[in-house]
């Protein structure tokens, strides 16, 4: 094994079931991190597909160390033990896939994965019977990164960052056509003082107010998640930081960069070294080699 491979990242997912409203104030949420069954791969960017008494089913980015690119997987988690039960790769392309945003319209489920490496953004219909994703069409011919669809006062919008500055300070606001399932004209953009423009998950509502999970990429990609209240002031869209979550464990010390909620369950992801001790030593040795 090469020394750089000792620094491989390991992402994991975890669940929080103490109520959505508490996420606005809690400082150390009681997250149940998943017990990993599959050691040759990890899952990140989780969106909850379904919840029942015994299982939580998510769509997530799957990254196999052998394949070396993201694919979209359907992952089943035991709700009582928080153990990985099984997974299926439901979508794969030659280019990297991640952030499988779920958009529900009636009985249909659509998925808009992040695939900016392809140069465009595409939406698919998901069939849970066949575990297949069928292409509907392009949302945009622009390389959106971690785009989400947001409904405000009956109007639908698409919020996104994009290449070449996906982790920057500018959030682009587009219209969204519900019938054609595509972005319309670019309406405006919002600028932040720090690198917090990238979405960290789907917006959610508490007491009629809209909140956006935002990625804090100030120091590095996926450093933490900031919950922002979305407000209108003099006709302009503004974002007020309400709460934030950062890693606090030895094993997962690199970041938290996704937060999603569905049917009473919130899902996070977090990142650390695949080999926590050896990874730190390898990082130190590489820094010495680079200085030499």
CA 141 to each of CA 116, 119, 137: distance values in angstroms, whole numbers, following the listed order? 10, 7, 10
With H, G, I as helix, E, B as strand and everything else as coil, classify residue 5. helix
CB of 271 closer than 8 Å to CB of 10 = yes
CB of 29 closer than 8 Å to CB of 23 = yes
Stretch (H or E) spanning 282 = helix 276-291
Can you tell me the distance from the alpha carbon of 77 to that of 56, in angstroms, rounded to the nearest whole number? 5
Side-chain half-sphere CA neighbours of 73 within 13 A:
23
- Residue-wise pLDDT for 193-210, tens only, equals 999 999 999 999 999 999
Can you tell me the distance from the alpha carbon of 268 to that of 250, in angstroms, rounded to the nearest whole number? 17
Long-range contacts of 178-181 (CB under 8 A, 24+ apart): 178/105, 180/137, 181/110, 181/123, 181/136, 181/137, 181/139
DSSP 151-211: EETTEEEEEEEETT-TTSSEEEEEEEETTTTEEEEEEEEEE-SSS--SB-S--EEETTEEE
Tokens of 73: 């997987």
Split at pLDDT 50, 70, 90, the class of 212 is very high
Q: CA quadruple 259, 67, 139, 126: dihedral positive or negative?
A: negative
Q: What is the DSSP letter of 115?
A: -
Can you tell me the distance from the alpha carbon of 20 to that of 16, in angstroms, rounded to the nearest whole number? 9
CB of 218 closer than 8 Å to CB of 199 = no
Long-range contacts of 242-248 (CB under 8 A, 24+ apart): 242/24, 242/211, 243/23, 243/24, 243/25, 243/26, 243/27, 244/216, 245/29, 246/216, 247/271, 247/272, 248/28
- Residue-wise pLDDT for 228-262, tens only, equals 999 988 878 999 999 999 998 888 888 999 999 99
Under CATH, what is the fold of the domain 3-291? Tachylectin-2; Chain A (2.115.10)
Tokens of 21: 């409203």
Q: Does pLDDT of 4 surpass 70?
A: no
Give pLDDT, residue 119. Answer: 94
- Residue-wise pLDDT for 135-192, tens only, equals 999 999 999 999 999 999 899 999 999 999 999 999 999 999 999 999 999 999 999 9
Give pLDDT, residue 9. Answer: 80
Split at pLDDT 50, 70, 90, the class of 284 is low
- Residue-wise pLDDT for 71-98, tens only, equals 999 999 999 999 999 999 999 999 999 9
Give pLDDT, residue 177. Answer: 97
Q: Does pLDDT of 289 surpass 90?
A: no
Q: Label residue 70 exposed, middle or buried (CB < 10 Å: 0-12, 13-18, 19+).
A: buried
Side-chain half-sphere CA neighbours of 32 within 13 A:
16
The pTM score is: 0.93
Domain ranges across the chain: 3-291
The mean pLDDT of the chain is: 92
In the predicted model, what is the mean pLDDT of residues 120-144?
A: 97
Long-range contacts of 248-255 (CB under 8 A, 24+ apart): 248/28, 250/276, 251/276, 252/12, 252/33, 254/9, 254/222, 255/220, 255/221, 255/222, 255/223, 255/224
Split at pLDDT 50, 70, 90, the class of 280 is low
Give pLDDT, residue 2. Answer: 54
């Amino acid at each position: 094994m090469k020394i750089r491979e000792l620094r491989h990242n390991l992402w994991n997912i975890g669940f929080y079931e103490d109520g959505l409203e508490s996420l606005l104030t809690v400082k150390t949420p009681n997250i149940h991190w998943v017990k990993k069954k599959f050691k040759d791969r990890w899952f990140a960017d989780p969106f909850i597909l379904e919840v029942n008494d015994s299982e939580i089913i998510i769509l997530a980015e799957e990254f196999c160390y052998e394949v070396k690119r993201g694919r979209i997987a359907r992952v089943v988690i035991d709700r009582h033990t928080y153990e990985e039960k099984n997974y299926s790769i439901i979508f794969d392309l030659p280019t990297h896939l991640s952030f499988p945003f779920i958009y529900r319209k009636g009985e249909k489920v659509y998925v808009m994965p992040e695939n900016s490496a392809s140069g465009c953004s595409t939406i698919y219909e998901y069939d849970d019977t066949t575990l297949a994703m069928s292409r509907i069409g392009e949302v945009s011919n622009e390389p959106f990164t971690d785009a989400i669809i947001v409904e405000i006062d009956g109007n639908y919008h698409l919020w996104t960052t994009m290449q070449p500055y996906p982790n920057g300070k500018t959030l682009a606001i587009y219209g969204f056509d519900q019938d054609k399932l595509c972005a319309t004209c670019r309406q405006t953009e919002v600028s932040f003082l720090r690198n917090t423009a990238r979405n960290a998950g789907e917006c959610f509502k508490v007491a009629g107010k809209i909140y956006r999970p935002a990625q804090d990429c100030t120091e590095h990609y996926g450093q933490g998640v900031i919950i922002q209240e979305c407000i209108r002031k003099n006709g302009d869209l503004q974002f007020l930081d309400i709460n934030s979550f950062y890693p606090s464990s030895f094993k997962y010390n690199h970041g938290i960069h996704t937060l999603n909620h569905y049917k009473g369950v919130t899902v996070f992801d977090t990142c650390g070294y695949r080999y926590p001790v050896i990874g730190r030593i390898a990082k130190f040795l590489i820094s010495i080699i680079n200085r030499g």
